Structure 1
Amino acid sequence: MKLKKMTTVRSCKRTNMRYTDFRNIKRGIFLLVLTGVSLAYIQLVALEQWGKFVHLNVQISRTIHYNSGKGKNLLRNEKSSDVLYFEYNETDLMKKQVDYSNPIADTNNSADNDVVDFRESTDFNEKAGNRNQSKIKSSKKHARRNLYATINLEKIISDETNFTKKPLMVLFSSWVSSPEKAKVQGVVKRLWNSWSSIKPAVVTTDTQVQNECTLAGWGSQTVTSVDPGCHGPPVLAKMFTDVSKAHDAYFYGFSNADIIFGDGLEKTMKFLYYHYSPWKTKPVLVVGRRHNVDFIEHANFTLDTPTDVGKMAEKGTLVVRSTDYFFSNELFPWARAPKVSIGRPYVVRAIIGWALQRRFDVIDATKTIESVHLTTQDGVFASWHKKGTMCNERVMAKLRWNIPLSFGHCECARLETFKGVNKTIEMRHRPMSRRFCGR
């Protein structure tokens, strides 16, 4: 009897354990299924929202059109840096700014018109007052949604940025007091201060020049790096790094102290700012050639505005294999650039050749930026008759690079700006000049 009772108890315990295990298994399966369903739902919602975001982002980046002077629509992909063609029409841009000067008011007016039209169409059924009121409320909600739906993306892109707080470019130079160059420096100080979006600055050790430029509305800084072998002039790369630390701008540019620019300077830099998006993500260098004009012969020529510079450029000679200005974005690595000094030979070949070797975007802006070299008694080859003439060549020799000297010309740039129909500024790729680049 005892054996039977023990057997019965054991069998009951065994049955209860099996029942408990089965119940735990069912509970575990239920929890797994519930967790899986919850995760699937969360993932589905997340993917749906992400898909909407990606679709909107792609739509915005791929469907923005710009009207050219001929009335054609040019598809512009903001995400691609391999751009083959650009077009910028300043007249159309100004018209768009006037047309879209108050988008909120325009959309409010359109929304009110929608509500008024709906009310006029529902006045015939006065008995259904409650229904009309609900429809009117829904139309108001729809109008509020249209307030955002009817904003033109083209207006947002083409709006003029306010460059008063952050300049489009800080344009700087360096010189010391010289009776021979006094009149030229006076013209430079006046004309470089003509643009509202470009801030001029001087980097020099001459306190008199610093004070004169400060009174003229320029910024002023002291030279911090000089190559002793060059006997005086500052190092170009160090000037860029110093100016970028002292000023917050979208672009930074250096030019020789006897160069004046036409109104194409501001237009070209604005074209790059608005329509050449690679400057936001990769190093960009803008260079160009100058027109040599005998300033002594044309001393009485009127030079009050940048427009006068364009007229004066027609009287000069466009030089080859020479560049007197370098404009770059903040991403250009001047800290690693060759430490060549201004006012001495081989500056152009060192900087342009170094940038091309690293496949940076080098843009030749000769055809859209009118630059004039005001030549005085020292002539156009003054840098070859000063102390330390070959100091930059020694700097390049220490680098031990295999770049031919002929490779460092603005003619070797693979991109160039030019004036298209109706004097619009455009950009295009071009093959490398074998004549000037040695390849």
Structure 2
Amino acid sequence: MTGSGNGGACSGKGVYLKLTVLFLLSSTIYVYLYSSITMQTFAIGEVMKGTINDIQRWRDKMEGWVQMIGGGGSQINAKFVKNASFAENMQNKSKLEVRHRVSEQYNNSVSGTKKPSKSTFLHQKPTRSFVKNSTGSSVGGKTEVLLTLFTSWPTKAEKYTCHNNTIKNWAQLKPHIQPVLFTQETLLAEEATEKGWAVLPVRKAGRGVPILKYMYKDAMERYNSTFYAFSNGDILYSQSLIETLQTVLKSSQIPKGKPMMIIGRRTNVQDMTSAEAVSGDKVQKTAKVRGKIFTVWAEDYFITSANYPWKDIPEVVIGRRAYDNWLVSNARKQKHVTIDATDTLVALHQTTKAGNQEGFKADNPEYNHNLLRRMYRHLHYAAGLTSCADYYTRYHEKRQIQILKRTVPRSCFPV
């Protein structure tokens, strides 16, 4: 009995020892295979990343070459964009995944809960390189910067194509127009800089949203141009922007020396594609074919002269309702020159799933209205419609732009 029991115990220990050895061997094999596969995956990923970057660089070079070709350049460009879309989409997807990890940094930074890192922005010296004249032409062989055009947006996956279109579109307006992006996001700043934009940090914000007057003040202190303008980040422009501003400068109808504000209605286009935004000519054509002109209540850009008194403007924030109409009504009340450029300046709004009333759906949509109501006894927003501007632009014979005095409707009063 005793011998049989000891034999059973020894047999049990032997089985346990075998199982232990088998487990250790299996674990070793598993770790080896996992490490090997991980290293191979990493190596493949690095190779793919390098390949995609190479494709992107060649695509950018090809775009530059195509833009130098006359005649059928737009057709070649459209064809190439189609062929390059796979590589671009792969790279965009990778950028979006990383951007989402830093989007919280933007919200914290502009709300004052966290100071932006000094390494976020590339150091940029003030652009004060040559003398301006009154015609918007070249001085000393250099093209004068006609307009400093700036905007701001937080990273959102559903708006990536829209904002990517904006980055490329505004960059094509150089050297007459200098695009500037206000942001706290490192990756977004780097991408904009690569495309020829200037980048500035958001200096002051209200509830996490940039305050408009400080954007103007910072842009005016840093860059030298005839005009300065905030525009919503989903607006695309064509050569008509430059042509309209050059006409304003040459016009004898407009009083000289007075502060000036140029506004206009936008044209909504649903689901704008990258191919449709590839050039200013394409933007102009798409707006004509698929666009729908929007209400006189909506104003998406504010082009002002260098002497416009932004220091006296309340601390309204961008992207929320009420500030646009108040700005125009205030300009009229202060006897500034106001011009409605709707008929000659194409401002294409890229309408996404968010629709055409994003300001009403954003967080704290009444921020500006509540601020203005505390400061002023009466608010007459209807005095700040595009149709209330004192002057307006139009095309006449031979597609020349003309600026005329407007008979302002009674509904635009009292101011």
Q: TM-score, normalised by structure 2?
A: 0.63
Asked if 1:281 corresponds to 2:257, the answer is: yes
Asked if 1:262 corresponds to 2:241, the answer is: no
Question: 2:136, 2:146 within 8 Å by CA — same for their partners in 1?
Answer: no
Question: 1:290, 1:318 within 8 Å by CA — same for their partners in 2?
Answer: yes
Residue in structure 2 matched with residue 161 of structure 1 by the alignment: 138
Asked if 1:203 corresponds to 2:182, the answer is: yes
Question: Equivalents in 2 of 1:399, 1:159: separation in Å?
Answer: 38
Query: Of the candidates 277, 287, 292, which is equivalent to residue 313 of structure 1?
Result: 287
SS for the counterpart of 2:308 is coil
Question: Equivalents in 2 of 1:199, 1:290: separation in Å?
Answer: 21
Question: Equivalents in 2 of 1:180, 1:437: separation in Å?
Answer: 40
Q: 1:224 to 1:396 in 2, by over 3 A?
A: same
SS for the counterpart of 2:249 is helix
Using the aligned pairs only, state the percent identity: 25
Residue in structure 1 matched with residue 393 of structure 2 by the alignment: 417
SS for the counterpart of 1:369 is coil
SS for the counterpart of 1:210 is helix
Asked if 1:337 corresponds to 2:320, the answer is: no
Question: 2:135, 2:249 within 8 Å by CA — same for their partners in 1?
Answer: no
Q: 1:219 to 1:402 in 2, by over 3 A?
A: same
Residue in structure 2 matched with residue 217 of structure 1 by the alignment: 196
SS for the counterpart of 1:285 is strand
1:392 to partner: Cα distance? 0.2
SS for the counterpart of 2:318 is coil
For 1:182, the aligned partner's letter is: Y
Question: Equivalents in 2 of 1:392, 1:214: separation in Å?
Answer: 31
Q: 1:194 to 1:165 in 2, by over 3 A?
A: same
Question: 2:321, 2:368 within 8 Å by CA — same for their partners in 1?
Answer: yes
Question: Equivalents in 2 of 1:193, 1:257: separation in Å?
Answer: 13
Q: 1:300 to 1:197 in 2, by over 3 A?
A: closer
Q: Structure 1: which 5+ residue stretches go unaligned?
A: 1-155
Question: Equivalents in 1 of 2:138, 2:257: separation in Å?
Answer: 19
Question: 1:251, 1:330 within 8 Å by CA — same for their partners in 2?
Answer: yes
1:244 to partner: Cα distance? 0.4
Question: Equivalents in 2 of 1:432, 1:211: separation in Å?
Answer: 45
Question: Equivalents in 2 of 1:348, 1:215: separation in Å?
Answer: 31
Pairs aligned (count): 279
Please identify, of 277-286 and 329-338, the stretch whose mean Cα deviation from structure 2 is larger.
Answer: 277-286
Matches within 5 A, 1:28-427: 160-162=137-139, 164=142, 166-195=144-173, 196-228=175-207, 232-275=208-251, 281-295=257-271, 298-299=272-273, 301-314=275-288, 315-320=290-295, 321-427=297-403
Question: 1:411, 1:437 within 8 Å by CA — same for their partners in 2?
Answer: no
1:402 to partner: Cα distance? 3.3
The structure with the largest alpha-carbon Rg is: 1
1:261 to partner: Cα distance? 1.0
1:438 to partner: Cα distance? 7.2
Question: Equivalents in 2 of 1:306, 1:276: separation in Å?
Answer: 28
For 1:304, the aligned partner's letter is: V
Question: 2:382, 2:411 within 8 Å by CA — same for their partners in 1?
Answer: no
Question: Equivalents in 2 of 1:217, 1:242: separation in Å?
Answer: 19
Structure 1, residues 283-320: CA drift from partner, whole Å, max 9, x if none? 0000001011101xx53653222111111112111111
Q: 1:387 to 1:186 in 2, by over 3 A?
A: same
Structure 1, residues 187-235: CA drift from partner, whole Å, max 9, x if none? 111111122311111112222221111111100000111113xxx2211
For 1:181, the aligned partner's letter is: K
Structure 1, residues 134-188: CA drift from partner, whole Å, max 9, x if none? xxxxxxxxxxxxxxxxxxxxxx997933494641111111012221111111111
Question: 1:236, 1:340 within 8 Å by CA — same for their partners in 2?
Answer: yes
Question: Equivalents in 2 of 1:201, 1:425: separation in Å?
Answer: 27
Q: 1:388 to 1:159 in 2, by over 3 A?
A: closer
Question: Equivalents in 1 of 2:336, 2:316: separation in Å?
Answer: 19
Q: 1:223 to 1:423 in 2, by over 3 A?
A: same
SS for the counterpart of 1:185 is helix
Q: 1:157 to 1:322 in 2, by over 3 A?
A: closer
Question: 1:406, 1:438 within 8 Å by CA — same for their partners in 2?
Answer: no
